[in-house]
Amino acid sequence: MPKITIVGAGGYVFPIRLTVDILSFAELQHSTIYLYDIDGERLARSKRLIDGIVERNNLPTRVEAGLDRREALRGADYVIVAFQVGGVEAYKWDVEIPRRYGLDQCVGDTLGPGGVFRGLRSIAVFEEIARDMHDLCPDALMLQYANPMSINCWALNLMGIKVVGLCHSVQGTSKMLAHELGVPYEEVSFKCGGINHQAWFTEFRHKGVDVYPRLREVMFQKYPSPLEVDTESRLPVSRFAQRGLDHQAEDEVYYHERVRTEIMRTFGYFHTESSHHGSEYVPWFRKNPDIVNAYIPVRWDYYQISCSYQEESHQEYLRQLCEGPLHLSEEYGARIIHACETGEPVVIYGNVPNWGAPGTDPKQSRSHIISNLPHNCCVEVACLVDRNGVQPVAFGDLPPQCAAINRQSINVQELAVLAALNRDRSLVYQAIAMDPLTGALLTLPQIRRMVDEMFEAEKQWLPQFG
């Protein structure tokens, strides 16, 4: 049975959730699960909890843990990665320094200054992991959860690692759209493709019938353009901004999809990722406080959420994981392992090289999964998984306007990857200068100064840039 290594196993909830998913499959219960982290105390806690789950369910699973990465990777069949290099300490500079320049990132982990610098920190660690994998488990499949997803996976693809990047965006958005239409999720089908956090639903059907016209009608009526409607027919923008997080749940039920609906109003299609997070990737919604308040009336600041994270608030969920019956979550990871091991096919949405299956040589393939996106980029598409591994399904062309928006992000991703792999500071300036939101707000001299400040603040995690 397989050896499954979890890198970043000291996380408070996620490694436990992934392990419960794995153990939910009877065919995987004889696996060896190896937990690895750089924090011994947190690692010991995860080991204790997982040992308890195995013992409580009387399972034959072997659970090991250690601080030696090479030992963790030795002979692994699957390597699950979920970490944040530098933690909240580094993340602070990803968002606070750009804000001094008037660039307000809602999350800052995917694109823009925050996403690029998180990628620089992550790729440095991935290079070490990749060297060990080539040496100790060259055939292993990496299941990659760390953001910035596309930047990290693109770099890993170039390192020759067989990797699939996994996210929640497609599952979450498709369920949300079914809810908006008032139809059971199990009755819908769709076609979705693009890049991580910006994949496009080009088809959406209910019982085989195209419901996109109805979806547009429902969303346009529910979320009128806030800069066009009569001001007396909507609540004042300032009131949303001032009400704060106490009313977040109430307001987000009705006002949380203005950004994605506005994009669909102009470009015709709905994309993955939330309106809050998605507003960072384009130049139109975060130009000034008035526009931000109009489209995102309740502030959602992921850095502040991370700083105020209370492990106690997750105690009940963790208790249910550890003491309740084994059950699957929506995460794809365990399903992929199960399909590869048993041959029982499953379709997932994964982030893969646009030239073909994970681990294949780009020089040996002239094909494109998404025909009108660059050959070497990382795309998010449907994938069939069975004993043959992760097999991306050919998508064809995206609508040209959707591909054009994706290419803006891909330009940043490519330069960020090249900057990281070549230790080239000038490419970092260029990557961030090409970011759509950064370019809409800052001059080139401002961008250079901002990047220099970020390098100085984060130098302990980026020694390779001198």
Give yes or no: residues 187 and 220 share one domain.
Answer: yes
Measured distance CA(272)–CA(281) in Å, rounded: 12
Give yes or no: residues 106 and 202 share one domain.
Answer: no
By the 10 Å C-beta count (0-12 exposed, 13-18 middle, 19+ buried), 36 is classed as buried
207: left (phi over 0), alpha (psi -120 to 50) or beta: left
Give yes or no: residues 174 and 292 share one domain.
Answer: yes
DSSP 346-369: EEEEEEEETTSSTT--GGG----S
DSSP 266-287: HHS-EESS-HHHHTTSSSSS-S
341: CATH: 3.40.50.720
pLDDT recorded at residue 192: 98
Domain range enclosing 202? 169-299
By the 10 Å C-beta count (0-12 exposed, 13-18 middle, 19+ buried), 142 is classed as buried
Give yes or no: residues 75 and 151 share one domain.
Answer: yes
Give yes or no: residues 234 and 164 share one domain.
Answer: no
441: in domain: no
The 10s digit of each residue's pLDDT in 347-370 is 999 999 999 999 888 888 878 999
CB 389 within 8 A of CB 346: no
410: in domain: no
pLDDT recorded at residue 296: 87
Length of the chain: 466
Alpha-carbon distances of 209 from 102, 181, 202, 206, 447, rounded to whole Å: 46, 13, 14, 5, 48
Measured distance CA(155)–CA(188) in Å, rounded: 35
Of 240, 270, 299, which marks where a domain is finished?
299
198: in domain: yes
267: in domain: yes
Give yes or no: residues 227 and 99 share one domain.
Answer: no
pLDDT recorded at residue 362: 87
443: in domain: no
pLDDT recorded at residue 398: 98
426: in domain: no
Number of domains in the chain: 2
Give yes or no: residues 279 and 341 share one domain.
Answer: no
**What pTM, to 2 d.p., does this model score?**
0.93
Backbone angles phi, psi at 352, to 5 degrees: -140, 165
Residue ranges of the alpha helices (H) in 2-86?
Answer: 14-23, 40-56, 69-73
Give yes or no: residues 179 and 159 share one domain.
Answer: no
Task: Indicate which residues carry an active-site annotation.
Answer: 168
Question: CB pairs under 8 A, 24+ apart, for 200-208?
Answer: 200/269, 200/270, 200/271, 200/272, 200/398, 200/399, 200/402, 201/173, 201/174, 201/177, 201/269, 201/270, 201/271, 201/272, 202/269, 202/398, 202/399, 202/402, 204/174, 204/177, 204/270, 206/181
CB 162 within 8 A of CB 353: no
Give yes or no: residues 164 and 198 share one domain.
Answer: no
414: in domain: no
399: in domain: no
pLDDT recorded at residue 240: 35
Give yes or no: residues 178 and 116 share one domain.
Answer: no
Of 311, 330, 345, which marks where a domain is finished?
345
Give yes or no: residues 19 and 129 share one domain.
Answer: yes
SS3 call for 62? strand
10-residue stretch averages of pLDDT, the chain, 466 residues long: 96 92 98 97 95 96 98 98 92 95 93 98 98 98 98 97 96 95 97 98 98 97 80 38 38 67 97 92 92 83 69 76 90 97 98 94 87 97 98 98 98 98 98 98 98 98 93
Give yes or no: residues 83 and 195 share one domain.
Answer: no
CB 120 within 8 A of CB 151: no
